[in-house]
A and B are shown apart, each in its own frame.
Chain A
Amino acid sequence: NAGVTQTPKFRILKIGQSMTLQCTQDMNHNYMYWYRQDPGMGLKLIYYSVGAGITDKGEVPNGYNVSRSTTEDFPLRLELAAPSQTSVYFCASSYGGTKNTGELFFGEGSRLTVL
């Protein structure tokens, strides 16, 4: 059981480049989330999704886009990378709805540096 898988684990981008952080889960979870964590700080919610085809903004959505075409996948797109987007990105999932146990399952994180 792989759980939540994020790729890549590390990436260096130049200012203005674009990239997609991939996230997939094999637990048939309805809810999926993207967080970013700057050094020494807490997690900030970027976007979340309560099911395929449904996404919503979190606390810090500017500069990012997401899509949820399947239950398993929730990619995060950075269109024009900026140094302020240097961070560690975590994807998470949970059952949601009537099956919700309150537990978020996190991936190992993707460390992104924008130079």
Chain B
Amino acid sequence: LAKTTQPISMDSYEGQEVNITCSHNNIATNDYITWYQQFPSQGPRFIIQGYKTKVTNEVASLFIPADRKSSTLSLPRVSLSDTAVYYCLVVDYNQGGKLIFGQGTELSVKP
């Protein structure tokens, strides 16, 4: 299983773009990169998933370079409600879906 490394915490201000980078140096060919968001006292919520290049949805963008050894979650124009913990996961669905969460990045958005 590919190990992931993220910053423990980040601070931002309302209206700014936030980029959270995750390192996964030993990512395998069949691995997908998935990001989750967790608010206090709630279970994590799926944000976005990608394999390579760029993926965008209504919430975020995910940038994955050609070597796939890292990925960057981009949150445009954050608000106070984006204050949460963000987790990066690397998943090989062919391996039975064993999903291991890392420590996550605690994002604090200030007014």
> Which chain A residues have a beta carbon within 8 Å of chain B's beta carbons?
31, 33, 35, 41-45, 48, 50, 56, 58-59, 88, 90, 92, 94, 96-97, 100-109
Contacts and interface: CB of A to CB of B under 8 A. Distances in A.
Contacts of A33: 99
Nearest to B93: A100
B44 A43 contact: yes
B34 A102 contact: yes
Nearest to A102: B49
Interface residues of B, number: 23
B10 interface: no
Given A102-B32, A102-B49, A108 B43 contact: yes
Nearest to B100: A45
Given A42-B87, A102-B32, A102-B49, A109 B43 contact: yes
B45 interface: yes
B40 to A, nearest CB: 10
Contacts of B41: 88, 109
Given A43-B44, A102-B32, A31 B101 contact: no
Contact of A48 (B34, B36, B98, B101): B98
B56 interface: no
A112 to B, nearest CB: 14
Contacts of B87: 42-43
A43 B46 CA distance: 14
Contacts of A35: 101
B26 interface: no
Given A42-B101, A94-B97, A102-B93, 14 more contacts: A33-B99, A42-B102, A43-B44, A56-B98, A58-B100, A102-B32, A102-B46, A102-B91, A104-B99, A108-B42, A108-B43, A109-B41, A109-B42, A109-B43
| Nearest 9 interchain pairs by C-beta | A106-B43, A102-B49, A103-B46, A43-B101, A42-B103, A100-B93, A90-B43, A31-B97, A102-B34
A25 B31 CA distance: 26
A43 B101 CA distance: 6
B48 to A, nearest CB: 9
Contact of A96 (B42, B49, B93): B93
